[in-house]
Amino acid sequence: MNPMLLVLLYLLAGVVGFKFKRIAYVMVATVAALSILFLYAGMGVNPTQWYFIFLSSLAWLFISLFSLSYEIDDGILASTFAFTTGMMLLILLSKDAITFLLGWEGMTVASFFSLYSHKNSRRAAYLFIAFGETSFIFILSGFLLASAHAGTTVFSAWGTQDWSTIYMLMAIGFMIKMAAVPAHIWLPEAHSRAPANMSAQLSAVMTLMGLYGLVSFLNVCVPGSWVGAVLLIIGGVSALIGVFYAAICDHVKKLPAYSTVENDGVLIALVGAFIITYQNSQHVVAAFMLLSVMFFAFAHTIAKSLLFIIAGKLEKSGGEYLGGKYRLTPIGAFAGYVAAISLAGVPPLPGFIAEWTALESMFQSFYFSDLWLRVLTVSVGALIALTAGISTIAMSKFIVHGVERRERGPLELSDLGLAIGTALLVFGGFLPQFIFRLSSPVISGITGVPADRFMGGLFGIPDGYLIISGKGFGVLSPTLLFIFIVGVFLTVYLIMRRPMRRRRVVRAWSGGLKNEEYPTRAHSSILLLTQKWLFRTDEKMQYSDMIHNAYIRIGTATQSASEKFRGMLMPGNDRRYVLYILIALLVYLAIAML
């Protein structure tokens, strides 16, 4: 079977979606399942392609099943969802630059129309496509340079000449799609306006395409350490900025959007750390870092898809801002708890294991020979450790002022998708070695070290129940951790359920008072007050995105300067206009000669 037939089936689902919405979503779910089955059998894809198709297909499967009862009257949404999915699969299947760029542009344009057609979202749609096209330009520049050196657009024939420069150009494009700071401002705007299923698609799977680009081109050649250092710095700053804004955000969908900026920042930093470690000839540690990237990608993709779906349901039933009155089914509430707790890094869910592997990776930089690279990696690792703590504020806010404020609703057809996504997340936390083994061919292909190197036995239990980091810096057993946490929670629960002589029942997060409630803004007031330099907090505790404001000032200044230039250039004096044309022509000739 030709894998490109799967792309055609997605596109066919997009055509069907204009008239038959549910059929289109069923087709997407079916093709996602087929992609996992057929491509697992080795249908013409390399290990990197297979792993990212596997992750993406898992998300497409349960997001499309959720969509069966979500805004089902919107035919444009069903069609653009299917078209976007098809273009993403085209990216993952591409073996040459032209096919990759076709999929990349198709993914951006299809998502743009999904946003543009939704109510009150045209500004967000234009912001989305502006950064999307900027991303395309940088990737195109890297592809043109690589193809010119190799004399072909086929990836497998590309050489290593000027590879660090080529990779850096492509990486900028990929990082823009991953909403790295300072190009992150499109993501909270677009996702806060997009429908829930497209928000999940954009935040989890579309940003995953950027990570795929960063990882897949490591198969050509690993670039120089300076590239890794740049990625490490950008990733660390993105993670810190993203988690700060997630923690203070009150918007039900912007909060998980800023959380995506944080998660993608960690992934970018890990790729940078991998490049530095590999170039320092520490291939075992580098392989563990790449394993961390692969598992973190799984934890982020599944949990963030679930969180955006729940955020969409909260928004639809109770408004845009946290603190409203919501309706969720029991399955929806449980999915919200699991997704948020995983993203907060609470054991034994995948988010905790992902954060543990990330920190273990960063803190093994003492193997580096270069002192400044050691300091840089440890410093970024410390930033990521800080983000892990602050993310707890963001996710606890989502639970307390969102999921906890629900009224019970009847079961819906969309719960099928939520149940599958939740099961995947729990399974990944309890049995992470399954994900490790799936990613092992990717890691082995780039570093020569298989993922089995980092799994060991424990108390006679077969291999895989103990995670060993790098060269034995630390160990973790998700299985024993799960048993320990369940045991502690059950003990505390049984003690708390014992009858007491005196007890007073109050609302959660009320400070023990009968009629007071913990407000949403108070949940993050400490950060708003102590980090005024970042949030620009005023007397009324209002805040804004400092980088977004900088873009607005630049745009306003540019528009003002252009107006003044136009006034000076065209006052009715022909000689001045002709002189301008001649000077411009000379400048272009000089550039062409250089």
For residue range 408-444, what is the model confidence (pLDDT) as tens digits? 878 888 888 899 999 999 999 888 888 998 999 999 9
Confidence band for 194, pLDDT divided at 50, 70 and 90:
confident
Q: What is the pLDDT of residue 507?
A: 64
326-328 and 475-476 strand pairing: unpaired
CA atoms lying within 13 Å on the CB side of residue 215: 34
**Range of weakest confidence among 106-110, 189-193, 247-251:** 189-193
For residue range 124-156, what is the model confidence (pLDDT) as tens digits? 888 899 999 999 999 999 999 999 998 899 998
Domain positions in the chain are: 4-143+160-468, 546-593
Confidence band for 477, pLDDT divided at 50, 70 and 90:
confident
Exposure string for 123-146, b = 16+ CB within 10 A, e = fewer:
ebbebbbebbebbbebbbebbebb
| Average pLDDT estimate for 218-235 | 93
Residue 583 CA: distances (Å) to CA of 565, 569, 576, 580: 15, 13, 11, 5
Q: Is the pLDDT of residue 174 over 90?
A: yes
**Distance of alpha carbon 97 from alpha carbon 544, whole angstroms:** 39
CA–chain centroid gap for 37, Å, is: 25
| Average pLDDT estimate for 486-490 | 87
For residue range 346-367, what is the model confidence (pLDDT) as tens digits? 888 999 999 999 998 888 887 7
The torsion of the CA quartet 427, 429, 435, 436, rounded to 10 degrees, works out to -150
| Average pLDDT estimate for 81-101 | 93
Q: What is the pLDDT of residue 521?
A: 74
Q: What is the pLDDT of residue 72?
A: 65
Q: Which residue has the tokens 């630390």?
A: 474
Q: Is the pLDDT of residue 516 over 60?
A: no
- Ramachandran area for residue 511 (φ above 0: left; ψ -120 to 50: alpha; else beta): left
Confidence band for 300, pLDDT divided at 50, 70 and 90:
very high
Q: What is the pLDDT of residue 475?
A: 85
Nearest residue to 81 (alpha-carbon basis) of 136, 17, 126: 17
Contacts of 10 (CB under 8 A, 6+ apart): 27, 28, 31, 82, 83, 85, 86, 89
Contacts of 147 (CB under 8 A, 6+ apart): 97, 153, 158
For residue range 333-342, what is the model confidence (pLDDT) as tens digits? 999 999 999 9
Q: What is the pLDDT of residue 508?
A: 61
| Average pLDDT estimate for 440-454 | 90
Highest mean pLDDT among 15-19, 76-80, 296-300, 326-330: 296-300
